Amino acid sequence: MTSKYTITLFTGISIGVLALGAVSLLLFALNISPITVVQVMSAGSASNWMRISHVLSIWIPLLLCASGLLLTFRAGLWNIGVEGQVVMGAIFATATLRLLDGQAEPALVLAIAMAAGLLGGGLWGMLAGILRNQCGVHEIFGGLGLNFVAQGIILYLIFGSWKRAGMASMSGTELFGRDLWLSVPTGWRVPPISLTIAITAFILTALLLAITRFGLRLKAVGQNREAARLFGIRPDLVSLLGMMLGGGLAGLAGCLQVTGVYHRLIPSISSGYGYLGLLIVMLAGYRAVPVPFIALFFAALTAGSIQLPIVMQVDSSLSGVIQGAFVLSALLVHGLNQRKKQRDKQKNKQQGAGN
């Protein structure tokens, strides 16, 4: 067990060194100091509590999306449709807030909206699972298609049924009443309840994967569906439940974006956090423990990059370049590890045949 974690740590360090080395070379070629970039981005993400809380507001949806993706990856599924699940969670939450506004206590309405967000994302995830199990549509293609559909629905609602009075705008729907905003203490940019929900969801996900029978079944299905079937496990049902739970967590992220960040529905409500969640889980080696730390790093990267055009006249898209460098480095390192395993396996077979 110790050697396994040592290998994982060494892999993570290798990915970081490769990615940061590649980005540093690029910055040197552009006559930009990497040290200055680090200083500016660090100041932009951690120089005061307001900026730290902004980082946390990005960390919350990243952690929720990544938690859901841990479930689907464990089942051997690439849940590319996570972006659409965030969007549908936001839509379901918005519909609930609009429908129940003034009909019940605000706290109860917000609780129902969160349940609706879970339901919306879960149903969208379930739909991707049904397309895979019943129609033979790979979850990557089904998820991408459902992402486009979800984006079409949100644009239709913002420019149609839910448009602002007298106008339709990319800035989104009308703001909800302040009683339907998640409470934010003075000097904060993130609701404490959102932090609590995200951390609790991650811990429950990690425990579900580590110590429950369902987590073991997800692992069995992900490693070998046919072998799992021989042990009485129903792979289609288990993978469908995994997609529903993963989609539900993504939908909850969408709900928290609506109620705790924007206080309205906007076209870019997902902010690409679903796709970034995929990268986080990949960089974590599909393990739960590194996920919150990698998510925090990417959240700080996203928040800190806002300062680059202000201080250095460097486009904030540099954070995307850094993220891409980490992804390419991860693919390279994991590919080399897989090749080494195959060579070792082949070598052992040859030695066994020689004996």
Domains of the chain: total: 2
What amino acid occupies position 152?
A: G
If one counts every other C-beta atom within 10 angstroms of the C-beta of residue 194, the result is 25
Are residues 179 and 325 located together in one domain of the fold?
no
Are residues 158 and 128 located together in one domain of the fold?
yes
CB 292 within 8 A of CB 64: no
CB 242 within 8 A of CB 71: yes
* pLDDT attached to residue 343: 81
Each residue's pLDDT tens digit, 138-168: 999 999 999 999 999 999 999 988 888 766 6
* pLDDT attached to residue 1: 45
Q: Is residue 149 part of a domain?
A: yes
Are residues 200 and 251 located together in one domain of the fold?
yes
> Residue 188: which of 15, 53, 31, 333 has the closest Cα?
53
* pLDDT attached to residue 143: 92
Each residue's pLDDT tens digit, 88-125: 999 999 999 999 988 889 999 999 999 999 999 999 99
Q: Is residue 130 part of a domain?
A: yes
Q: Is residue 46 part of a domain?
A: no
Q: Locate 282 and state its tokens.
A: 């990949």
Instruction: For residues 341 and 333, give the distance between their C-alpha atoms in angstroms, rounded to a whole number.
Output: 12
If one counts every other C-beta atom within 10 angstroms of the C-beta of residue 211, the result is 9
Are residues 28 and 122 located together in one domain of the fold?
no
Tokens 């910055």 belong to which residue?
A: 27
Are residues 263 and 228 located together in one domain of the fold?
yes
Q: Is residue 115 part of a domain?
A: yes
H/E segment holding residue 54 = helix 49-74
Q: Which residues of the chain have pLDDT under 50?
A: 1-2
* pLDDT attached to residue 251: 97
Phi and psi at residue 131, in whole multiples of 5°?
A: -60, -35
Are residues 182 and 305 located together in one domain of the fold?
yes
Q: Is residue 103 part of a domain?
A: yes
Q: Locate 259 and state its tokens.
A: 């109620």
pTM for this prediction: 0.89
Are residues 320 and 341 located together in one domain of the fold?
yes
> Residue 196: which of 187, 207, 204 has the closest Cα?
204
Q: Is residue 47 part of a domain?
A: no
Are residues 245 and 207 located together in one domain of the fold?
yes
Instruction: For residues 232 and 266, give the distance between their C-alpha atoms in angstroms, rounded to a whole number.
Output: 45
Provide the domain limits for residue 271.
Answer: 53-312
Q: Locate 261 and state its tokens.
A: 């960040």
If one counts every other C-beta atom within 10 angstroms of the C-beta of residue 19, the result is 22
* pLDDT attached to residue 314: 79
274, with CB counted inside 10 A (0-12, 13-18, 19+), is buried
Are residues 221 and 322 located together in one domain of the fold?
no
Are residues 175 and 301 located together in one domain of the fold?
yes
User: Who contacts 114 (Cβ-Cβ below 8 Å, separation ≥6)?
Assistant: 93, 197, 252, 255, 256, 259
Instruction: For residues 20 and 28, give the distance between their C-alpha atoms in angstroms, rounded to a whole number.
Output: 12
Q: How far is CA 262 from the centre of its chain?
A: 18
Q: Is residue 165 part of a domain?
A: yes
* pLDDT attached to residue 7: 65
Are residues 92 and 226 located together in one domain of the fold?
yes
